[in-house]
Structure 1
Amino acid sequence: MQALHTTRAGVLEVASSRCGPADGPPVFLMHGFPYDIHAYAQVAPLLADAGCRVIVPYLRGFGPTRFLDSGTPRSGEQAALGADLLALMDALQVPRAVLAGYDWGGRAACVVAALWPARCAGLVSYNSYNIQDIARALEPDTPANEQRLWYQYYFHSERGRAGLAQDRRALTRLLWQLWSPTWHFDDASFERSAAAFDNPDFVEVVIHSYRHRFGLVAGDPAYADIERRLAAQPAITVPTITFDGSDDGVRPPAPAQAAAHRFTGPRSHRVVPGVGHNMPQEVPRVFADAVLELVRGAG
């Protein structure tokens, strides 16, 4: 990855990798949990070579990104992630960009696309509509899908918090293996990303995220209005490409019609064979091509 830059944006000092021409069409690439900006180590250069201005930020609680104030709640709620992305766009004076991501980062991109569509020239979202419906979070799923979410229920307990704090590398590596069972990553690839989990706020942000999405803890009052708007499950109107991986160990692939009512603008849904949860690192060219499809469409 390129040398890191830091930017004061909202409640954070955000560390990000940037590449490509400064006057190119801007693209934000948003990583998930438990991953980091190295998920885009091959995607970013492909986009830069095509003339894009590429920004890949570390999310709150990851890598060198830091909270500016020790008193700010270490929230991992979806509204906070979306607000962080919007604040970074403002700080970098980017009025409009293609937003692309998966997992937590895809959620941030979906939040901005849904609530501030004028800021989003196009959206690439892995796992389709990635805005949580917290009001229905305690409704049971199929037994098979419940089993996939064991780690979320683990984090609901203080035993889970202690387990994550005690050995975050072993736990996150297990998630990599379970979520992408056909992706044979090496030790070096994992360690490059695992360094990001040494952030002093990592455990608190992660635990809050997985408790808040089930309505088990309160959110940061600063984001209450955004959460209220998200509770209405707003439609995404911008041009969108959504993906599922056929081998995703978290969320099994779904047909396009399953989330069709959440997308009222142009949308293409694609299932990628042989891909698990970390799509941009597993098939970087496929992910980059989707981003470029929207960049060219916006131009």
Structure 2
Amino acid sequence: MIGRRNFGKALGMVTVSTAAASCGRTSDPSSASAAVQTRAPASEIDKTSRVPSFGVVGQIHAGELNIGYAETGPAHGPVVILLHGWPYDIHSYVEVAPLLAGHGYRVIVPYLRGYGTTTFLSGKTFRNAEQVVFAQDIIALMDVLRIERAVLGGFDWGSRAADIIAALWPRRCKALVSVSGYLITNRKAQQQPLPPTAEWAWWYQYYFSIARGELGLAKYRDDFAKLIWRNVSPTWHFSDATFNRTARAFDNPDYVPIVIHNYRWRLGLAPGDPRYDGLEAKLAEGPPVHVPTVTLDGALDPFTPTGNGAAYRSKFTGPYAHRTLQGVGHNVPQEAPEAFVRAVLDADRM
């Protein structure tokens, strides 16, 4: 494994040129520029702040989206797809990606719908953020990139999407790394109250259920994200440059609609797309995951269930390992990149 002392050398493999993208990929500068309207260009900020960056992001039409994604590592290596959550972006994996590339993996890190340079192909498309569509987006991306199987890793929204693919389309998932374990949402169970301390951690979900919350997110999106980062990762002392690098992803015009719909849908306060009712019915049954899996919990993450993974152990029926990371909060890949990389390697070798 590449240690931190070699990270600077490995990071040189991260920056990717769209011109070097494989046949069939498209560049859509208009959509990318529309997503970043109020901040300085990434290259300009990164030169002054000296924080690592993925540099140029590739763009490709996949399903109903034009997906922005970073890619590094050998073109013909085994594929790892890494998925971020809210309120984060692809840079949660800016240290993980070069380490995995150093092990020979082709690493792909896409912006989820509503983030960064990922945009809808049509202005008329329903800005749907129910859980299954994020998994469908990744399947569409794999199809257009001609990736039959990949190791999937994620946290937060990314864990949920990866879990869904592993459960519903296991032939597309070689192995799984899932932070916080089994995150497939049961909307019926979401109607039941939690103990007050657990409800407190979800305060923003309830705030977003009212019009005031939607207006608040639109007006204070950076303040929201920074507050969440500090609350759920109490020992992660990120710099302003690190935050600003990710905050550019929130300038996407669909960011607020996607975030609001996601949390309202979970609580049964907003409808999904009827086309996905059949898949959502399957997910409501809590399908098990049979592929090799490593689950990770940050010990300081307020969303980590008690019991050292016991709360969701029965959901993973294949080769399995669980690790609780001491001193780590919610954003595991950015707070503990080497532990995340080790989990990917171990899951793939199971």
Same fold (TM over 0.5): yes
Deviation at 1:216, TM superposition (A): 1.1
Q: Matches of 1:95 and 1:239 in 2, distance apart?
A: 17
SS at match of 1:271: strand
User: 2:268 maps to which residue?
Assistant: 215
User: 2:138 maps to which residue?
Assistant: 85
User: 2:70 maps to which residue?
Assistant: 17
Single out whichever of 70-79 and 276-285 deviates more from structure 2: 70-79
- Given candidates 253, 278, 283, the residue that maps to 1:230 is 283
1:32, 1:104 within 8 Å by CA — same for their partners in 2? yes
Single out whichever of 13-22 and 215-224 deviates more from structure 2: 215-224
Q: Which amino acid aligns with 1:52?
A: Y
User: 1:130 maps to which residue?
Assistant: 183
Partner deviation per Cα, 1:119-170 (whole Å, 9 max, x = no partner): 1000000000010011111101111101110010000010100000011001
- Given candidates 114, 118, 126, the residue that maps to 1:65 is 118
2:83, 2:154 within 8 Å by CA — same for their partners in 1? yes
1:4, 1:15 within 8 Å by CA — same for their partners in 2? yes
- Say whether 1:33 aligns with 2:86: yes
- Say whether 1:288 aligns with 2:346: no
2:58, 2:69 within 8 Å by CA — same for their partners in 1? yes
Q: Matches of 2:277 and 2:132 in 1, distance apart?
A: 8
- Given candidates 42, 56, 60, the residue that maps to 1:3 is 56
Q: Matches of 2:183 and 2:96 in 1, distance apart?
A: 21
Q: Matches of 1:256 and 1:180 in 2, distance apart?
A: 19
User: 1:145 maps to which residue?
Assistant: 198
Paired residues, number: 297
| TM-score w.r.t. length of structure 1 | 0.97
Gapped runs of 5+ residues in structure 1?
A: none
Deviation at 1:221, TM superposition (A): 2.2
CA-based RMSD: 1.0
Deviation at 1:218, TM superposition (A): 0.5
Partner deviation per Cα, 1:34-71 (whole Å, 9 max, x = no partner): 00000000000000011000000000000000011111
Equivalences for 1:139-218 in 2 at 5 Å? Answer: 139-218=192-271
Query: 4+ runs of 1 displaced by more than 4 Å?
Result: none
Single out whichever of 288-297 and 35-44 deviates more from structure 2: 288-297
User: 2:127 maps to which residue?
Assistant: 74
User: 1:257 maps to which residue?
Assistant: 310
SS at match of 2:108: strand
2:288, 2:315 within 8 Å by CA — same for their partners in 1? yes
Q: Matches of 1:74 and 1:254 in 2, distance apart?
A: 37
Partner deviation per Cα, 1:276-296 (whole Å, 9 max, x = no partner): 000000010110111112233
1:253, 1:271 within 8 Å by CA — same for their partners in 2? no
Partner deviation per Cα, 1:188-218 (whole Å, 9 max, x = no partner): 0000001100000000000000000111110
2:290, 2:317 within 8 Å by CA — same for their partners in 1? yes
Q: Which amino acid aligns with 1:258?
A: A
Q: Which amino acid aligns with 2:67?
A: V
Identity across aligned pairs (percent)? 51
User: 1:268 maps to which residue?
Assistant: 321
Q: Which amino acid aligns with 1:295?
A: D
Q: Which amino acid aligns with 1:84?
A: D
SS at match of 2:188: helix
Q: Matches of 2:192 and 2:95 in 1, distance apart?
A: 39
1:181, 1:249 within 8 Å by CA — same for their partners in 2? no
Q: Matches of 2:164 and 2:90 in 1, distance apart?
A: 20
Q: Which amino acid aligns with 1:87?
A: A
Higher relative contact order by CA 8 Å / sep ≥ 6: 1 or 2? Answer: 1
Q: Matches of 1:226 and 1:90 in 2, distance apart?
A: 19
SS at match of 1:137: helix
1:2, 1:18 within 8 Å by CA — same for their partners in 2? no
Q: Which amino acid aligns with 1:64?
A: T
